[in-house]
Structure 1
Amino acid sequence: MKAFILDSYGKTQTLRLDEMPEPLAGPDDILVEVEAAGINLLDSKIRNGEFKPILPYKPPLVLGHDLAGTVIKVGARVRRFKPGDAVYGRLRDGQIGAFAERVAVKESDLAPKPANLSMVEAASIPLVGLTAWQALVDRAKLKPGQKILIHAGSGGVGTFAIQLAKHLGAAVATTASATNAALVKALGADIVIDYHKQAFENELSGYDVVLNSLDAKTLEKSLKVLKPGGKLISISGPPDPAFARAQGLNGVLRLVLRLLSAGIRRKAKHADVDYSFLFMRASGEQLGQITKLIEDGTIRPVVDRTFPFEQLNDAFAYIETGRAKGKVVVTLK
């Protein structure tokens, strides 16, 4: 089968299209024919080597976390799916490889594809949808009437999180460029801060939750908009000790992450704010809950561009410009 292979870590590395052996499906696995794969900055960061300490993949390897496709074969213990089923999912850490014609996926990582979505639209959902779900539902426990600031509202996570937050009954503010203001308002944002002209930390106050996906300066400024007891959730770091424990990292790495996050944790404590780092996990069960919201029209996918599979490296270059509105997807069929 054809697959894009990362031969070594590095920011200038391109992925090589070549033949690979067919994947072997274990008793709990499903062999999926990939029809579309979502592109995520996580893939870029792994390629660059930024996650080597906590996700120790050894090149050569096949990247890719998001997929939609058709079940070809199921393992002996698989009960929820059969050949011919249309599925989508976020592959778990340690078993990635969606940038290939076929991949073996754990049954528990998949959900039936939403009936009202194309394969391209479905492939755009899993990672950003699960990230937003785990941040807003699991971590923030967002309630009706609360106020949330979602940074980078026109990005992949942002476009999904705005819609989910509105469904949960929250008032939503977001940061975006003037060019993208109409998009995020259409998704449900109540307040749009033009980050080119406005300082969000001077415009907003009394917020219950901030979802950060930007840099360290934005993270620190976000403390100013939160009320005492508020929650600052970051998906862009720095990782905290709770994350290190959950990942089962060794003592040296735990110490490193403790030191990296010491500054923001100290400032958050001083502001009476709860800081936490979220590194989303694969979950077919949660994706099933998201599917219901998609099928009833509560949440819609936002796809910026599609690329043919052969142009995967061009798709990487495009998402790294930071200009994508929503998600970028490569198509294999």
Structure 2
Amino acid sequence: MRTYMKTAQITRYSKQIHAEVIETTKPEIQANEVLVQVKEAAVNPLDLMNIDGSVKLIQNYRMPLVLGNELSGVIEAVGSQVTGFEVGDAIYTRLPVPKIGAFAEYVVVSADAIWHLPSNLNFKTGAAAALTGLTAYQALHEELQMKAGQTLFIPGGSGSFGQMAIPLAKAMGLTVIVSGNAQAKSRTLAIGADQYLDYRTENYWDVLSKVDAVIDTLGTSAIAHELAIIKPGGRLLSLKAGPNKQFAVNYGSPKWKQWLFGLAGAKLDRQARQAGVTYGFMFVRASGEQLRDITTVIEANDIVPAVDPKAFSLADVNEALRYVKDGHPQGKVLISF
């Protein structure tokens, strides 16, 4: 007998927020997959980019597309080849980039993309942890290849990204410097930052010099100042400013995309070269193995991601998306099932 579920999907890329809630057939699993009953789905700026097509050169989705990149939930069925997970297990995940769809009552996901919900988190805080946790982990370990004793600066690092990145960086033995607003100072120092600069009273480019790496969360307007404080041979990794040719090569993009991204990122590469620095851009991917390591750090440091108090259901999906776009959320925005 067929069973149905509700999903929030789009049928075309558009500058308008226009997700529709419809009923679709409940999906069936393959041998290496699990079926998850979604409890909480996080709403991210990435979802807005999936709607307007601004990342379609990185990942072009077939339509209709069920939105949503990040969730927590309970396993309802387990494929015959899956080990380490059982029916009833609470999990969290950043869904694999080619197969998103967290804004749904059920989702099928490869078992190698999930991990057990950290013991100190509930479904709400757990749904807020996977994407930022993986972004921070991949930035530090893979993109920047940071080593103990090195110095990392995160401008604008007082928000949800810094909340995950700082303890992960400290666990690697790094010195971590952050800039942000005055209200976030004590909380950011409490989770391990070694130095905190209030951006309203101090220009970091006047205070800092010769740091090993910078993770940019602010975009192109900040690049020149960020490059100025990095030591020769250091690295700048942006989460926002845009891809370059090296990103396309690393991502396994075809030659025409490498050429296109090379063109788009030429100015950033040139600025970095002139400063004697390497520029990079990243797009976070799914990894259950990395979530396992992240879980250890979350539990050891009792990291609890901030969640916005506003409550949204699947029927409110467009309101939730608009809130992420134009509101001022006090933490991760969630759709509750």
Q: Quick check: TM above 0.5?
A: yes
- CA deviation after TM superposition for structure 1 residue 294, in Å: 1.6
Q: Structure 2 stretches of 5 or more lacking a match? A: none
Q: Which residue of structure 2 aligns with residue 315 of structure 1? A: 320
1:66-99 deviations in whole A, cap 9, x for unaligned?
1111111112221221211111111101110001
1:250 is aligned to 254
Structure 1 residue 304 displacement after superposition: 3.2
1:289-327 C-alpha deviation (Å, 9 max, x unpaired): 111112223533232335232333222222224733442
Larger mean Cα displacement after TM superposition, 287-296 or 237-246 = 237-246
- Between stretches 224-233 and 96-105, larger displacement belongs to 224-233
Alignment of 1:104 with 2:108, yes or no, is yes
Supply the distance in 2 between the matched residues of 1:178 and 1:323 (Cα, whole angstroms).
17
Return the letter of the residue paired with 1:276. G
Report whether the alignment pairs 1:152 with 2:159: no
Equivalent AA in structure 1 for residue 155 of structure 2: H
Q: TM-score, normalised by structure 1?
A: 0.93
1:199 CA displacement = 2.8
1:199-278 superposed matches below 5 A: 199-278=203-282
SS at match of 2:107: strand
Where 2:65 maps in the other structure, the secondary structure is coil
**1:125: which partner in 2?**
129
Cα distance in 2 for residues equivalent to 1:159 and 1:326: 11
Q: Determine helix, strand or coil for the equivalent of 1:313.
A: helix
- Which deviates the most, 95-104 or 23-32? 23-32
Q: Partner residue of 1:135?
A: 139
Alpha-carbon distance in 2 for matches of 1:169, 1:200? 22
| TM-score after normalising by structure 2 | 0.92
Which of 322, 330, 333 in structure 1 is aligned with 2:335?
330
312-321 or 283-292, larger mean C-alpha shift = 312-321
CA RMSD of aligned residues (A): 1.9
Q: Show CA shifts across 1:143-187 (max 9, x none).
A: 333221112223322221122222323222222223333332333
User: Which amino acid in 1 is paired with 2:266?
Assistant: A
Is the contact between residue 219 and residue 238 of structure 2 (CA under 8 Å) also seen in structure 1?
no
Q: Which runs of 5+ in 1 are unaligned?
A: none
Q: What is aligned with 2:165?
A: 161
- What secondary structure, in the 3-state scheme, does the structure 2 residue paired with 1:305 have? coil
Q: Deviations over 1:102-152 (max 9, x none)?
A: 000001001111122101111111110001001112222333332211122
Q: CA deviation at 1:329?
A: 2.1
Of residues 70-79 and 120-129 in structure 1, the stretch that sits farther from structure 2 once superposed is: 70-79
Number of aligned residue pairs? 332
Q: Does 1:187 align with 2:230?
A: no
CA–CA distance in 2 between the matches of 1:306 and 1:289? 30
Please give the alpha-carbon distance, in whole angstroms, between the structure 1 residues aligned to 2:327 and 2:168.
22
Identity %: 37
Shift of 1:268: 1.4
Q: Which residue of 2 aligns with 1:31?
A: 35
Specify which of 175, 178, 186 is matched with residue 179 of structure 2: 175
In structure 2, C-alpha distance between the alignment counterparts of 1:196 and 1:57, rounded to whole Å: 41
Whether the aligned pair in 2 keeps the contact of 1:38 and 1:66 (CA below 8 Å) is yes
User: 2: CA distance between counterparts of 1:191 and 1:294?
Assistant: 21
Q: In structure 2, what is the Cα distance between the partners aligned to 1:138 and 1:251?
A: 23
Q: Matches of 1:181 and 1:93 in 2, distance apart?
A: 34
